[in-house]
Amino acid sequence: MKRFLSLFLAALMLFGLASCGEGKGAYEDLEIVPGVEIGVEEYAIAFREGSDMVAKVDAITADLFNDGTIKSIAEKYEVENQLVPSFAAASGQTASSESDWAKIQSKGKLVIGITDYAPMDYKDADGNWIGFDAEYARKVCEKLGVTAEFKVIDWNTKTVSLSTGAIDCIWNGMTVTNEITEACDVTGAYMKNYQVVVVKNAKKYPDLASLAGKKIAVEAGSAGETAAKADSNLASGVVPVQDQSTALLQVKSGAADACVIDFIMAKTLVGE
């Protein structure tokens, strides 16, 4: 009976943590390890290889940068410092054999693959998707004359979801990597980011060396997983989880000693 009660209370605690709002300061008891930045990366949007959507979205994005719309959205979500200084469209895309645009136009919507990732894509109190990428996507879709439909995907198999047609694009603070560029065509980069380490006590874990042999939660298939596995101090303790929110929850609950996540997400959710 005591064992059952203990398990029940532990489950209740985790449920309470998981149901907390993912807004600013939702993990205010956690800290970003100061001065630790693992790799600079760029965010872009992925379409199927050969898609004619890349040029269309790049042209609209250039206009949204020029007229101040992108800056306005970025300021709303406090990510203006992460925007690229000037937007440049992608070049050297594969010639298209069939039109993605014709299919998207026919169904009247762009199906966008995302995860719950504040401040890029997350839900408000009414269950609507908001965030920098969500608003940016809606602006682009408005220009295209179609509706933005957001679909939560498994980030670890995002390129499979794209290639099979389950989604039309990946648009969720997506880091441009060799894996992505080999499997997809990507737009020009619109934002820069890097990975940080989040812990409960930065005095206990002031640097990467102090985390050697510790349990490090990372989102499976993410830039955070790649960065953690590439670091000799962190590699042996890497534990992939479903998403970045789960990685933070692992640290908050004590199931992990640290997590490696995007700086943009960390500065939004961690109480610093």
The reported pLDDT for the residue numbered 26 is 74
Q: Is the pLDDT of residue 270 over 60?
A: yes
Residue-range domain boundaries for the chain: 24-39+194-269, 42-192
The reported pLDDT for the residue numbered 91 is 79
CB 159 within 8 A of CB 176: no
Could you tell me which CATH number the domain at 42-192 has? 3.40.190.10
Tens digits of residue pLDDT in 173-232: 999 999 899 999 999 999 999 999 999 999 999 999 999 999 999 999 999 999 999 999
Which two three-digit tokens encode residue 20? 């907390």
The reported pLDDT for the residue numbered 194 is 93
Residue with tokens 């408005």: 142
Q: Is the pLDDT of residue 264 over 70?
A: yes
The reported pLDDT for the residue numbered 2 is 40
Q: Band the pLDDT of 16: cuts 50, 70, 90.
A: very low
Q: Give me the CATH topology for the region 24-39+194-269.
A: D-Maltodextrin-Binding Protein; domain 2 (3.40.190)
Are 24-39+194-269 and 42-192 in the same CATH fold? yes
Nearest-angstrom CA–CA distance, 149 and 134: 10
Tens digits of residue pLDDT in 115-144: 999 999 999 999 999 999 999 999 999 999
What proportion of the chain, given as a percentage, has pLDDT over 90?
82
